[in-house]
């Protein structure tokens, strides 16, 4: 059994390592691709509409439209989600809420979706 695992794991680890190395050389391109996908998917949500995701084409656009916020800024939206309202921060409803202990806001509930 051990020989079978090593026979399979070596080529797989070589492939994964090569993929990571290749992506590292294209980090900005990869990050922009992820950002654009998130913006596209988030356009239909209340948060995306409020921050004009439909107008975002570049990282600079994102910086202009989406402010840096803390949990307290998002708390009203998270509360709406917790009552069953859909498409607030992300399409649909989360599958559950992760409970964290915030240092400044006390207990925080983070919506966890299949995408996240």
Q: What is the pLDDT of residues 29-40, one digit of tens each?
A: 989 999 999 999
Q: What is the pLDDT of residues 59-107, one digit of tens each?
A: 999 999 999 999 999 999 999 999 999 999 999 999 999 998 867 778 8
Residue 4 clears pLDDT 80, i.e. is over it: no
Q: Report the C-alpha gap between 115 and 106 in whole angstroms.
A: 26
Q: Report the C-alpha gap between 35 and 27 in whole angstroms.
A: 12
Helices 27-42 and 2-24 pack at an angle, to 10 degrees, of 90
Measured over the CA atoms of residue 84, residue 85, residue 87 and residue 90, the dihedral's sign is negative
């Amino acid at each position: 059994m051990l020989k079978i695992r090593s026979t399979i794991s070596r080529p797989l680890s070589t492939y994964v390592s090569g993929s990571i190395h290749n992506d590292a050389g294209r980090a900005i391109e990869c990050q922009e691709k992820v950002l654009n996908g998130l913006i596209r998917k988030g356009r239909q949500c209340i948060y995306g509409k409020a921050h004009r995701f439909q107008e975002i084409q570049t990282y600079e656009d994102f910086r202009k439209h989406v402010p840096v916020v803390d949990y307290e800024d998002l708390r009203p939206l998270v509360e709406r989600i917790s009552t069953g309202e859909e498409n607030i921060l992300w399409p649909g409803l989360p599958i559950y809420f992760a409970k964290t202990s915030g240092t400044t806001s006390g207990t925080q509930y983070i919506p966890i979706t299949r995408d996240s």
